[in-house]
């Protein structure tokens, strides 16, 4: 971690939040001290301040800290505001023009997937999902993509508390079946929703990696009625999705 700004406690707190945002798992006090290089009493005091302010929350073991909903909402708002305009939104518009179906950019928020930006197709038959919409992780293409790229400990912790609710006849409600699909997603580099969340709706999602890393920052997905674009045809759009994901990754530096 970079050297904290001298004489600016507020900036130190922001740098500590940045540290948590860069890690995919909860952190205990010794781990934060090691990662930040700051004195243990200083880190302990800052963690207490951020917990009291609702920015961090402790895991059930009482030892490890993770991002609280307030911090997650801040991140969602920042990403949403920046993606609704400018280069990222333009990439989505171009992708929709190429594939002919609705496309969206999403992020993981707690146990849900949140829509950051979306461009609808020109067809009258479509499912409109506005930015800010939240969908379940276990039965959405983007959600399964995020789960597949999580660290094993974080994924287990999330799945242990996740109700695998059935939304359609195709929803994966058995933990073993879901974990087998997550393994295949990590291997194949993309995820699908085969009418698992909404009957008659298919989706293909690809990861948007942080520049120079293998950390999934966002997911880019194509969504279409199966009657108009069967899943096999949606999968055939993968090269276009992946090219757009690379373009989006360059905006995340």
Query: pLDDT by residue (tens digit) across 163-208?
Result: 999 999 999 999 999 999 999 999 999 999 999 999 999 999 999 9
pLDDT at site 4: 44
Alpha helices in 140-228 (DSSP H): 141-149, 152-160, 175-188
Domain-ending residue, one of 67, 92, 108: 67
What six digits make up the tokens of 6?
């001298």
Note whether residue 141 is domain-resident: yes
Rg (CA), the chain: 19
Long-range contacts at 175-179 (CB < 8 A, ≥ 24 apart): 178/138, 178/144
Give how many domains the chain has, as a whole number: 2
80 and 198 assigned to the same domain: yes
Note whether residue 88 is domain-resident: yes
What is the three-class DSSP state of 131?
Answer: coil
Q: Mean pLDDT for the chain? A: 87
198 and 86 assigned to the same domain: yes
pLDDT at site 253: 57
The confidence band for 224, taking pLDDT boundaries of 50, 70 and 90, is very high
63 and 175 assigned to the same domain: no
pLDDT at site 2: 45
pLDDT at site 194: 97
25 and 143 assigned to the same domain: no
Note whether residue 1 is domain-resident: no
56 and 172 assigned to the same domain: no
62 and 87 assigned to the same domain: no
Note whether residue 4 is domain-resident: no
30 and 83 assigned to the same domain: no
16 and 130 assigned to the same domain: no
* Residue reference for tokens 């789960």: 147
Note whether residue 36 is domain-resident: yes
Instruction: State pLDDT tens for residues 119-152.
Output: 988 887 666 676 778 899 999 999 999 999 998 9
Domain CATH for 50:
1.10.10.10
24 and 110 assigned to the same domain: no
pTM: 0.69
109 and 226 assigned to the same domain: yes
Note whether residue 3 is domain-resident: no
Given a cut of 60, whether residue 12 has pLDDT beyond it is: yes
Domain CATH for 206:
3.30.450.40
pLDDT at site 204: 98
Domain-ending residue, one of 20, 50, 67: 67
Note whether residue 2 is domain-resident: no
51 and 100 assigned to the same domain: no
Domain-ending residue, one of 44, 67, 90: 67
The boundaries of the domain holding residue 136 are: 71-249
Instruction: State pLDDT tens for residues 23-71.
Output: 767 899 999 999 899 999 999 999 999 998 888 988 877 888 988 878 8
Q: What is the DSSP letter of 60?
A: T
What six digits make up the tokens of 190?
């993309």
Note whether residue 238 is domain-resident: yes
114 and 237 assigned to the same domain: yes
Say how many CA atoms lie within 13 Å of 137 toward its Cβ.
Answer: 25
What six digits make up the tokens of 250?
């360059």
């Amino acid at each position: 971690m970079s050297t904290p700004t001298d004489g600016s406690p507020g900036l130190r707190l922001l740098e500590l939040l940045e540290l948590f945002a860069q890690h995919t798992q909860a952190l205990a006090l010794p781990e934060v001290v090691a990662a930040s290089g700051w004195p243990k009493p200083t880190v302990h005091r800052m963690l207490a301040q951020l917990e009291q302010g609702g920015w961090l929350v402790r895991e059930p073991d009482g030892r490890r800290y993770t991002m609280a909903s307030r911090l997650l909402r801040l991140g969602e708002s920042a990403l949403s505001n920046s993606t609704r305009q400018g280069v990222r939104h333009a990439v989505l518009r171009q992708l929709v023009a190429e594939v002919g179906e609705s496309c969206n950019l999403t992020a993981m928020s707690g146990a849900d997937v949140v829509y950051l930006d979306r461009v609808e197709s020109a067809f009258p038959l479509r499912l409109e999902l506005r930015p800010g919409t939240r969908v379940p992780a276990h039965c959405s293409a983007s959600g399964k993509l995020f789960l597949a790229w999580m660290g094993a400990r974080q994924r287990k912790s999330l799945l242990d508390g996740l109700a695998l609710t059935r939304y359609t006849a195709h929803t994966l409600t058995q933990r073993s079946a879901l974990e087998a699909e997550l393994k295949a997603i990590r291997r194949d580099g993309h995820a699908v929703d085969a009418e698992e969340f909404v009957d008659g709706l298919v989706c293909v999602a690809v990861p948007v990696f942080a520049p120079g890393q293998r950390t999934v920052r966002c997911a880019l997905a194509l969504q279409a009625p199966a009657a108009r674009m069967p899943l096999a045809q949606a999968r055939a759009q993968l090269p276009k999705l992946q090219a757009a994901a690379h373009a989006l990754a360059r905006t995340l530096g």
